[in-house]
Chain A
Amino acid sequence: MDNTEEILDLLRENARLSVDDIAAMTRKTPDEVRSAIKQLEDNGVIMKYAAIVNPEKDGEAKDKVRAEIEIQVTPEREHGFDAVADRIWRFPQVKSLYLMSGGYDLKVIIEGDTLKEVAFFVARKLSTLEGVRSTKTHFILKTYKENDIVYVEADKDHRQGVTA
Chain B
Amino acid sequence: MATAPSGIRKFFDMIIGRDDIVSLGVGEPDFATPWLMREEAFYHLEQGHTSYTSNWGLLELREQIAKYLERYNLYYSPKNEILVTIGVSEAVDAILRTILNPGDEIIVCEPCYVSYQPLAALCDVTLIHLDTSKNGFYPEAEQIEKAITPRTKAIMLCSPSNPTGRMIPASELAKIADVVKRHQIWCLSDEVYCELVYDGRKHVSIGSFPGMKDYAVILNGFSKAFAMTGWRIGYVACNAELMEQVFKLHQYSTICAPIMSQYAAAEGLRNGWNEVEKMRLSYQQRRNFMYKAFCDMGLPAAEPEGAFYIFPDIRPTGLTSEEFATELIRKHQVAVVPGSVFGAGGEGFIRCCYATDIAKIKIALSRMQLLLNELCPKAGGTV
Contact = CB atoms under 8 A, between A and B. Distances in A.
B293 A24 contact: yes
Interface stretch (A71-79, A82-90, A153-161): A153-161
A21 B289 CA distance: 7
A159 B16 contact: no
A164 to B, nearest CB: 4
A161 B281 CA distance: 25
Q: Do most interface residues of chain B lie in helix, strand or loop, or is the interface mixed? A: helix
Of A10, A25, A160, chain B has the most CB atoms within 10 Å of the CB of A25
A162 B292 CA distance: 27
Contacts of B15: 161
Given A159-B26, A164-B26, A25 B229 contact: no
Interface string B2-29: 0000101101110110000001011110
Interface band, chain B: 20 to 34
B285 A10 contact: yes
B288 A25 contact: yes
B288 A24 contact: yes
Nearest to A158: B32
A163 B114 CA distance: 8
Interface string A136-164: 00000000000000000001010111111
Interface band, chain A: 10 to 19
A134 interface: no
Given A1-B281, A6-B281, A25-B358, A161 B16 contact: yes
A62 to B, nearest CB: 28
B82 to A, nearest CB: 23
A27 B26 contact: no
B286 interface: yes
Contact of B8 (A26, A155, A157, A163): A163
Given A21-B358, A24-B292, A162 B32 contact: no
A161 B353 CA distance: 12
A72 B346 CA distance: 70
A164 B337 CA distance: 11
Nearest to A13: B282
B30 interface: yes
A162 B11 CA distance: 10
B26 A161 contact: yes
A90 B70 CA distance: 56
Contacts of A164: 8, 26-28, 162, 223, 229
Nearest to A1: B281
A6 B288 CA distance: 13
| For the complex of A and B, 7 pairs with smallest distance between CB atoms | A161-B12, A164-B27, A25-B285, A155-B32, A163-B6, A163-B8, A24-B289
Given A26-B288, A161-B8, A164-B28, 5 more contacts: A26-B285, A155-B32, A161-B25, A162-B27, A163-B8
Interface of A: 1, 6, 10, 17, 21, 24-27, 155, 157, 159-164
10 contacts: A1-B281, A24-B288, A26-B285, A161-B9, A161-B13, A161-B25, A161-B26, A162-B8, A164-B27, A164-B28
